[in-house]
Structure 1
Amino acid sequence: MANDLIFYTNPMSRGRTIRWMLEEVGASYETVLLDYASSMKDPDYLAVNPMGKVPAIVHHGKVVTEGAAICAYLADAFPEAGLAPPLADRADYYRWLFFAAGPVEQAFTNKSLGVTPSDEQKRMVGYGCFEQTIDTLEAAVAATPYVTGDSFTAADVYVGAQIGFMLQFGMLEPRPAFVAYWNRISARDTFKRAAAVDDALIAAAQEAAAEG
Protein backbone atom coordinates (compact mmCIF):
# COMPACT_ATOMS: atom_id res chain seq x y z
CA MET A 1 0.00 0.00 0.00
CA ALA A 2 1.15 3.53 -0.75
CA ASN A 3 0.94 4.66 2.87
CA ASP A 4 3.44 1.96 3.86
CA LEU A 5 6.01 4.33 2.34
CA ILE A 6 5.68 8.06 2.91
CA PHE A 7 8.00 10.51 1.16
CA TYR A 8 8.48 14.01 2.62
CA THR A 9 9.92 16.46 0.14
CA ASN A 10 9.97 19.80 -1.61
CA PRO A 11 10.47 19.81 -5.39
CA MET A 12 13.23 22.40 -5.04
CA SER A 13 15.36 20.35 -2.68
CA ARG A 14 17.52 17.27 -2.40
CA GLY A 15 14.23 15.43 -2.36
CA ARG A 16 14.56 15.30 -6.14
CA THR A 17 17.29 12.71 -5.66
CA ILE A 18 14.99 10.53 -3.58
CA ARG A 19 12.14 10.93 -6.06
CA TRP A 20 14.52 9.53 -8.67
CA MET A 21 15.48 6.66 -6.36
CA LEU A 22 11.82 5.86 -5.74
CA GLU A 23 11.28 5.68 -9.49
CA GLU A 24 14.24 3.32 -9.75
CA VAL A 25 12.86 0.88 -7.16
CA GLY A 26 9.33 1.14 -8.57
CA ALA A 27 7.71 1.38 -5.15
CA SER A 28 4.29 2.84 -4.47
CA TYR A 29 4.49 5.77 -2.09
CA GLU A 30 2.61 8.70 -0.68
CA THR A 31 4.14 12.16 -1.17
CA VAL A 32 3.89 14.83 1.50
CA LEU A 33 4.93 18.22 0.16
CA LEU A 34 6.48 20.64 2.63
CA ASP A 35 7.50 24.26 2.30
CA TYR A 36 10.56 25.87 3.78
CA ALA A 37 8.78 28.72 5.52
CA SER A 38 6.24 26.80 7.56
CA SER A 39 5.45 23.09 7.29
CA MET A 40 9.06 21.90 7.50
CA LYS A 41 9.15 23.44 10.98
CA ASP A 42 5.72 22.25 12.11
CA PRO A 43 5.67 19.95 15.14
CA ASP A 44 4.18 17.13 13.06
CA TYR A 45 7.16 17.09 10.73
CA LEU A 46 9.72 17.78 13.44
CA ALA A 47 8.50 14.56 15.01
CA VAL A 48 9.68 12.85 11.82
CA ASN A 49 12.90 14.81 11.36
CA PRO A 50 13.90 17.10 14.23
CA MET A 51 16.28 18.87 11.85
CA GLY A 52 13.30 20.23 9.93
CA LYS A 53 14.94 19.27 6.64
CA VAL A 54 13.88 17.23 3.63
CA PRO A 55 13.99 14.62 2.27
CA ALA A 56 12.80 11.98 4.67
CA ILE A 57 10.90 8.76 4.30
CA VAL A 58 8.83 6.66 6.66
CA HIS A 59 8.69 3.00 5.64
CA HIS A 60 6.58 0.60 7.70
CA GLY A 61 6.71 3.14 10.50
CA LYS A 62 10.50 3.53 10.46
CA VAL A 63 12.06 6.93 9.70
CA VAL A 64 15.05 7.33 7.41
CA THR A 65 16.65 10.72 6.76
CA GLU A 66 19.78 11.85 4.87
CA GLY A 67 19.90 11.36 1.13
CA ALA A 68 22.65 8.75 0.92
CA ALA A 69 21.11 6.74 3.74
CA ILE A 70 17.70 6.81 2.06
CA CYS A 71 19.18 5.63 -1.24
CA ALA A 72 21.03 2.77 0.44
CA TYR A 73 17.96 1.86 2.50
CA LEU A 74 15.61 1.76 -0.49
CA ALA A 75 18.04 -0.38 -2.47
CA ASP A 76 18.00 -2.93 0.36
CA ALA A 77 14.27 -2.64 1.06
CA PHE A 78 13.42 -3.35 -2.58
CA PRO A 79 16.08 -5.88 -3.67
CA GLU A 80 14.13 -6.89 -6.75
CA ALA A 81 15.19 -3.58 -8.35
CA GLY A 82 18.81 -4.76 -8.34
CA LEU A 83 20.21 -1.43 -7.17
CA ALA A 84 22.63 -2.79 -4.57
CA PRO A 85 25.47 -5.15 -5.51
CA PRO A 86 25.88 -8.47 -3.72
CA LEU A 87 27.46 -8.03 -0.28
CA ALA A 88 30.81 -9.32 -1.47
CA ASP A 89 30.91 -6.65 -4.20
CA ARG A 90 29.91 -3.57 -2.23
CA ALA A 91 33.31 -1.99 -1.61
CA ASP A 92 33.05 0.60 -4.41
CA TYR A 93 29.33 0.97 -3.81
CA TYR A 94 29.77 2.11 -0.21
CA ARG A 95 32.97 3.99 -0.94
CA TRP A 96 31.58 6.32 -3.59
CA LEU A 97 28.09 6.65 -2.13
CA PHE A 98 29.51 8.01 1.11
CA PHE A 99 32.36 9.88 -0.55
CA ALA A 100 29.67 11.94 -2.30
CA ALA A 101 27.73 12.36 0.95
CA GLY A 102 30.84 13.34 2.92
CA PRO A 103 33.85 14.97 1.23
CA VAL A 104 32.01 16.12 -1.91
CA GLU A 105 29.14 17.67 0.04
CA GLN A 106 31.54 19.36 2.47
CA ALA A 107 33.84 20.65 -0.25
CA PHE A 108 31.05 22.25 -2.25
CA THR A 109 29.30 23.67 0.79
CA ASN A 110 32.49 25.41 1.88
CA LYS A 111 33.19 26.62 -1.63
CA SER A 112 29.69 28.08 -1.96
CA LEU A 113 30.19 29.87 1.37
CA GLY A 114 33.57 31.21 0.31
CA VAL A 115 35.42 29.12 2.90
CA THR A 116 38.88 27.91 1.89
CA PRO A 117 40.76 25.89 4.53
CA SER A 118 44.33 26.91 5.22
CA ASP A 119 47.09 24.34 4.73
CA GLU A 120 46.94 23.56 8.43
CA GLN A 121 43.13 23.28 8.42
CA LYS A 122 43.21 20.83 5.51
CA ARG A 123 44.35 18.19 7.96
CA MET A 124 41.20 18.72 9.99
CA VAL A 125 38.48 18.84 7.32
CA GLY A 126 37.22 15.58 5.89
CA TYR A 127 37.76 16.53 2.27
CA GLY A 128 41.27 17.95 2.55
CA CYS A 129 40.96 20.47 -0.26
CA PHE A 130 38.43 21.20 -2.98
CA GLU A 131 40.74 20.40 -5.89
CA GLN A 132 41.75 17.00 -4.54
CA THR A 133 38.12 16.10 -3.90
CA ILE A 134 37.09 16.97 -7.46
CA ASP A 135 40.02 15.10 -8.98
CA THR A 136 39.08 12.04 -6.94
CA LEU A 137 35.43 12.30 -7.99
CA GLU A 138 36.48 12.62 -11.63
CA ALA A 139 38.58 9.46 -11.39
CA ALA A 140 35.62 7.60 -9.89
CA VAL A 141 33.25 8.37 -12.77
CA ALA A 142 35.85 8.08 -15.52
CA ALA A 143 37.12 4.60 -14.71
CA THR A 144 33.97 2.62 -15.57
CA PRO A 145 30.49 3.34 -16.95
CA TYR A 146 29.10 3.48 -13.40
CA VAL A 147 30.79 4.06 -10.07
CA THR A 148 30.69 0.37 -9.16
CA GLY A 149 31.65 -0.91 -12.60
CA ASP A 150 29.36 -1.93 -15.44
CA SER A 151 26.07 -1.89 -13.51
CA PHE A 152 23.93 1.06 -12.42
CA THR A 153 23.28 1.13 -8.65
CA ALA A 154 21.84 3.36 -5.95
CA ALA A 155 25.29 4.89 -5.63
CA ASP A 156 24.90 6.31 -9.13
CA VAL A 157 21.60 7.93 -8.16
CA TYR A 158 23.27 9.82 -5.34
CA VAL A 159 26.62 10.54 -6.99
CA GLY A 160 24.91 11.39 -10.27
CA ALA A 161 22.41 13.74 -8.67
CA GLN A 162 25.25 15.62 -7.00
CA ILE A 163 27.17 15.94 -10.25
CA GLY A 164 24.08 16.93 -12.25
CA PHE A 165 23.11 19.63 -9.76
CA MET A 166 26.61 21.09 -9.65
CA LEU A 167 26.96 21.08 -13.43
CA GLN A 168 23.55 22.73 -13.84
CA PHE A 169 24.45 25.62 -11.56
CA GLY A 170 28.04 26.06 -12.71
CA MET A 171 29.51 24.81 -9.44
CA LEU A 172 31.49 22.05 -11.10
CA GLU A 173 33.95 22.38 -13.95
CA PRO A 174 32.36 20.58 -16.93
CA ARG A 175 35.19 18.13 -17.41
CA PRO A 176 34.50 15.54 -20.13
CA ALA A 177 34.27 12.69 -17.62
CA PHE A 178 31.63 14.50 -15.57
CA VAL A 179 29.58 15.50 -18.59
CA ALA A 180 29.72 12.02 -20.14
CA TYR A 181 28.73 10.36 -16.86
CA TRP A 182 25.85 12.75 -16.25
CA ASN A 183 24.57 12.43 -19.82
CA ARG A 184 24.66 8.66 -19.50
CA ILE A 185 22.66 8.37 -16.29
CA SER A 186 20.28 11.29 -16.87
CA ALA A 187 19.14 9.55 -20.07
CA ARG A 188 17.40 6.93 -17.92
CA ASP A 189 13.61 6.95 -18.13
CA THR A 190 13.45 6.77 -14.34
CA PHE A 191 15.32 10.03 -14.01
CA LYS A 192 13.16 11.71 -16.64
CA ARG A 193 9.94 10.61 -14.94
CA ALA A 194 11.09 11.81 -11.53
CA ALA A 195 12.27 15.16 -12.89
CA ALA A 196 8.99 15.65 -14.75
CA VAL A 197 7.00 15.15 -11.54
CA ASP A 198 9.05 17.65 -9.57
CA ASP A 199 9.21 20.16 -12.42
CA ALA A 200 5.41 20.03 -12.70
CA LEU A 201 5.09 20.65 -8.95
CA ILE A 202 7.38 23.67 -9.22
CA ALA A 203 5.43 25.05 -12.17
CA ALA A 204 2.12 24.60 -10.32
CA ALA A 205 3.45 26.37 -7.23
CA GLN A 206 4.75 29.26 -9.32
CA GLU A 207 1.44 29.57 -11.11
CA ALA A 208 -0.46 29.56 -7.82
CA ALA A 209 1.85 32.23 -6.42
CA ALA A 210 1.35 34.40 -9.48
CA GLU A 211 -2.43 34.11 -9.22
CA GLY A 212 -2.40 34.72 -5.46
Structure 2
Amino acid sequence: MRYDPARPAGRLLLTPEDKEAPVRVRRLGQLGLGDRRDPDLDAYADRLAEVTGAPYAMVNFVGEYRQFFAGLHLPAVSPPVVVRPDGTTPVLGRELGRDHGFCPHVVVRRKALVLEDVSDYPRFAGNPVVDEFGVRSYLGAPLIDSTGTALGTVCVLDVAPRPWGRSGLETIKSSAAELVARIERREADGLPLL
Protein backbone atom coordinates (compact mmCIF):
# COMPACT_ATOMS: atom_id res chain seq x y z
CA MET A 1 0.00 0.00 0.00
CA ARG A 2 1.06 3.55 -0.57
CA TYR A 3 0.75 6.48 1.80
CA ASP A 4 -0.38 9.80 0.36
CA PRO A 5 0.16 12.75 2.73
CA ALA A 6 -1.96 14.96 0.47
CA ARG A 7 -5.07 12.96 1.38
CA PRO A 8 -7.12 14.18 4.34
CA ALA A 9 -5.91 12.79 7.67
CA GLY A 10 -3.03 11.03 5.92
CA ARG A 11 -5.42 8.35 4.71
CA LEU A 12 -3.91 5.19 3.25
CA LEU A 13 -4.50 4.56 -0.41
CA LEU A 14 -5.86 1.07 -0.53
CA THR A 15 -4.74 0.22 -4.05
CA PRO A 16 -2.28 -2.67 -3.95
CA GLU A 17 1.12 -2.43 -5.60
CA ASP A 18 0.97 -3.97 -9.07
CA LYS A 19 4.38 -5.21 -10.22
CA GLU A 20 2.86 -7.07 -13.20
CA ALA A 21 1.35 -3.94 -14.78
CA PRO A 22 4.06 -3.45 -17.47
CA VAL A 23 3.69 -7.08 -18.61
CA ARG A 24 -0.10 -6.71 -18.63
CA VAL A 25 0.02 -3.52 -20.70
CA ARG A 26 2.25 -5.23 -23.29
CA ARG A 27 -0.05 -8.25 -23.45
CA LEU A 28 -3.15 -6.08 -23.81
CA GLY A 29 -1.39 -4.29 -26.67
CA GLN A 30 -0.68 -7.63 -28.38
CA LEU A 31 -4.35 -8.50 -28.06
CA GLY A 32 -5.53 -5.09 -29.24
CA LEU A 33 -7.41 -4.55 -25.98
CA GLY A 34 -7.51 -2.05 -23.18
CA ASP A 35 -7.65 1.31 -24.87
CA ARG A 36 -10.93 1.53 -26.76
CA ARG A 37 -14.59 0.66 -26.44
CA ASP A 38 -15.49 -2.70 -27.95
CA PRO A 39 -19.14 -3.21 -29.00
CA ASP A 40 -18.75 -6.99 -28.55
CA LEU A 41 -17.55 -6.44 -24.99
CA ASP A 42 -20.40 -4.00 -24.36
CA ALA A 43 -22.79 -6.79 -25.44
CA TYR A 44 -20.94 -9.17 -23.11
CA ALA A 45 -21.37 -6.73 -20.21
CA ASP A 46 -25.07 -6.38 -21.09
CA ARG A 47 -25.52 -10.15 -20.85
CA LEU A 48 -23.57 -10.31 -17.60
CA ALA A 49 -25.84 -7.64 -16.09
CA GLU A 50 -28.88 -9.56 -17.25
CA VAL A 51 -27.65 -12.89 -15.85
CA THR A 52 -26.73 -11.44 -12.45
CA GLY A 53 -29.53 -8.88 -12.21
CA ALA A 54 -26.94 -6.18 -11.49
CA PRO A 55 -27.48 -2.62 -12.71
CA TYR A 56 -23.79 -2.21 -13.66
CA ALA A 57 -21.45 -4.66 -15.41
CA MET A 58 -17.98 -4.19 -16.85
CA VAL A 59 -15.21 -5.84 -18.77
CA ASN A 60 -12.30 -3.95 -17.30
CA PHE A 61 -8.68 -3.92 -18.47
CA VAL A 62 -6.28 -2.58 -15.84
CA GLY A 63 -3.21 -0.63 -16.91
CA GLU A 64 -0.37 0.89 -14.94
CA TYR A 65 -2.23 4.08 -14.01
CA ARG A 66 -5.83 3.58 -15.09
CA GLN A 67 -8.62 1.13 -15.68
CA PHE A 68 -10.50 1.04 -18.97
CA PHE A 69 -14.00 -0.40 -19.33
CA ALA A 70 -13.88 -1.80 -22.86
CA GLY A 71 -17.23 -3.43 -22.09
CA LEU A 72 -19.73 -1.41 -20.07
CA HIS A 73 -23.37 -1.85 -19.09
CA LEU A 74 -25.10 1.04 -17.34
CA PRO A 75 -28.74 1.13 -16.30
CA ALA A 76 -31.05 2.93 -18.73
CA VAL A 77 -32.00 5.37 -15.99
CA SER A 78 -29.40 5.86 -13.33
CA PRO A 79 -30.83 7.65 -10.31
CA PRO A 80 -28.32 9.99 -8.70
CA VAL A 81 -27.02 8.22 -5.62
CA VAL A 82 -24.41 10.80 -4.76
CA VAL A 83 -24.95 14.53 -5.14
CA ARG A 84 -21.87 16.71 -4.90
CA PRO A 85 -21.91 20.02 -2.98
CA ASP A 86 -22.22 21.89 -6.30
CA GLY A 87 -25.41 19.92 -7.10
CA THR A 88 -23.87 17.73 -9.81
CA THR A 89 -23.79 13.94 -9.79
CA PRO A 90 -20.81 11.85 -10.90
CA VAL A 91 -21.13 9.93 -14.14
CA LEU A 92 -19.43 6.59 -14.60
CA GLY A 93 -17.50 6.65 -17.84
CA ARG A 94 -15.10 4.30 -19.59
CA GLU A 95 -12.04 5.19 -17.56
CA LEU A 96 -11.12 5.34 -13.87
CA GLY A 97 -7.86 5.84 -12.05
CA ARG A 98 -6.20 2.76 -10.64
CA ASP A 99 -6.95 3.96 -7.12
CA HIS A 100 -10.71 3.78 -7.75
CA GLY A 101 -12.76 0.64 -7.40
CA PHE A 102 -12.05 -2.93 -6.53
CA CYS A 103 -10.83 -4.42 -9.82
CA PRO A 104 -7.15 -3.56 -9.18
CA HIS A 105 -7.39 -5.72 -6.03
CA VAL A 106 -8.83 -8.61 -8.05
CA VAL A 107 -6.05 -8.34 -10.65
CA VAL A 108 -3.23 -8.23 -8.11
CA ARG A 109 -4.76 -10.98 -5.91
CA ARG A 110 -5.62 -13.03 -9.01
CA LYS A 111 -8.77 -14.20 -7.22
CA ALA A 112 -12.46 -13.40 -7.39
CA LEU A 113 -13.74 -10.86 -4.89
CA VAL A 114 -17.21 -10.81 -3.37
CA LEU A 115 -18.29 -7.73 -1.42
CA GLU A 116 -21.95 -8.07 -0.52
CA ASP A 117 -21.82 -4.78 1.42
CA VAL A 118 -18.61 -2.78 1.12
CA SER A 119 -19.38 -1.01 4.40
CA ASP A 120 -18.71 -4.34 6.16
CA TYR A 121 -15.07 -4.20 5.02
CA PRO A 122 -13.08 -1.23 6.37
CA ARG A 123 -10.35 -1.87 3.79
CA PHE A 124 -12.82 -1.38 0.93
CA ALA A 125 -15.39 0.99 2.47
CA GLY A 126 -12.99 3.94 2.06
CA ASN A 127 -12.51 3.41 -1.67
CA PRO A 128 -13.32 6.51 -3.77
CA VAL A 129 -16.07 4.73 -5.75
CA VAL A 130 -18.05 4.33 -2.54
CA ASP A 131 -18.13 8.08 -1.92
CA GLU A 132 -18.16 9.26 -5.54
CA PHE A 133 -20.57 6.78 -7.11
CA GLY A 134 -22.41 5.23 -4.18
CA VAL A 135 -21.16 1.70 -4.86
CA ARG A 136 -22.31 -0.66 -2.10
CA SER A 137 -21.67 -4.14 -3.50
CA TYR A 138 -19.20 -5.70 -5.92
CA LEU A 139 -18.59 -9.06 -7.54
CA GLY A 140 -15.57 -9.53 -9.81
CA ALA A 141 -13.23 -12.17 -11.19
CA PRO A 142 -9.85 -11.88 -12.92
CA LEU A 143 -9.32 -12.49 -16.63
CA ILE A 144 -6.18 -14.68 -16.56
CA ASP A 145 -5.02 -15.86 -19.98
CA SER A 146 -2.91 -18.90 -20.88
CA THR A 147 0.29 -16.84 -20.59
CA GLY A 148 -0.55 -16.37 -16.90
CA THR A 149 -1.24 -12.67 -17.37
CA ALA A 150 -4.11 -11.16 -15.39
CA LEU A 151 -5.52 -8.87 -18.10
CA GLY A 152 -8.29 -7.31 -16.06
CA THR A 153 -11.67 -8.34 -14.71
CA VAL A 154 -15.29 -8.99 -15.39
CA CYS A 155 -17.39 -7.46 -12.65
CA VAL A 156 -20.82 -6.34 -11.60
CA LEU A 157 -21.80 -3.82 -8.97
CA ASP A 158 -24.81 -2.31 -7.30
CA VAL A 159 -25.63 0.81 -5.31
CA ALA A 160 -27.36 -1.36 -2.69
CA PRO A 161 -26.03 -4.32 -0.68
CA ARG A 162 -26.44 -7.59 -2.61
CA PRO A 163 -26.28 -11.17 -1.35
CA TRP A 164 -24.31 -12.54 -4.32
CA GLY A 165 -23.86 -15.94 -2.64
CA ARG A 166 -22.08 -18.97 -4.03
CA SER A 167 -24.12 -18.87 -7.24
CA GLY A 168 -22.99 -15.30 -7.91
CA LEU A 169 -19.37 -16.27 -7.31
CA GLU A 170 -19.64 -19.25 -9.65
CA THR A 171 -21.35 -17.11 -12.30
CA ILE A 172 -18.66 -14.42 -12.27
CA LYS A 173 -15.82 -16.97 -12.30
CA SER A 174 -17.31 -18.92 -15.19
CA SER A 175 -17.98 -15.67 -17.06
CA ALA A 176 -14.32 -14.71 -16.69
CA ALA A 177 -13.14 -18.11 -17.93
CA GLU A 178 -15.54 -17.96 -20.88
CA LEU A 179 -14.39 -14.48 -21.88
CA VAL A 180 -10.69 -15.44 -21.68
CA ALA A 181 -11.38 -18.43 -23.94
CA ARG A 182 -13.08 -16.14 -26.46
CA ILE A 183 -10.24 -13.62 -26.35
CA GLU A 184 -7.67 -16.36 -26.95
CA ARG A 185 -9.75 -17.93 -29.70
CA ARG A 186 -9.89 -14.54 -31.40
CA GLU A 187 -6.12 -14.23 -31.07
CA ALA A 188 -5.45 -17.73 -32.44
CA ASP A 189 -8.03 -17.80 -35.24
CA GLY A 190 -8.73 -14.19 -36.05
CA LEU A 191 -12.39 -14.76 -35.16
CA PRO A 192 -14.63 -12.02 -33.76
CA LEU A 193 -14.44 -11.71 -29.98
CA LEU A 194 -18.04 -12.81 -29.40
Between structures 1 and 2, the one with greater strand share: 2
Question: Which structure would you say has the larger Rg?
Answer: 1
User: What's the TM-score, normalizing by structure 1?
Assistant: 0.26
Between structures 1 and 2, the one with greater helix share: 1
